[in-house]
Amino acid sequence: MPTALIAEDEPLLAAGLQADLARLWPDLQIAAVVGDGASAVTQALQLQPAVCFFDIRMPGMSGLDAAQALAEDWPEGPAFPLLVFVTAYDQYALQAFEAQAVDYLVKPVDSARLAACIERLKKRLADRAPAGPALDQTLAQLRALLVAAPAGGVTPKLEVIQASVGNIVHMVPIDEVLYFEAADKYLRVITAEREHLIRLSLRELMPQLDAQKFWQVHRSLVVRASAITTALRDESGKVTLTLRGRPERLTASRLYAHLFKGM
Using DSSP bridges, classify how beta strands 103-106 and 82-87 pair: parallel, antiparallel or unpaired.
parallel
Using DSSP bridges, classify how beta strands 3-7 and 160-165 pair: parallel, antiparallel or unpaired.
unpaired
Beta bridge partner(s), residue 234? none
Q: Would you state the pLDDT for residue 237?
A: 81
Mean pLDDT by 10 residues, the chain (263 residues): 95 95 97 96 97 92 91 89 89 79 89 94 82 72 76 75 91 96 91 93 90 94 96 89 94 92 76
- 3-class secondary structure, 256: coil
Domains of the chain: 3-147 (3.40.50.2300), 160-259 (2.40.50.1020)
DSSP 8-state assignment for residue 207: G
Q: Would you state the pLDDT for residue 247?
A: 94
Output the 3-class SS for 58-76. Answer: CCCCCHHHHHHHHHHHCCC
DSSP 8-state assignment for residue 78: S
pTM over 0.85? The answer is: no
Q: Would you state the pLDDT for residue 159?
A: 95
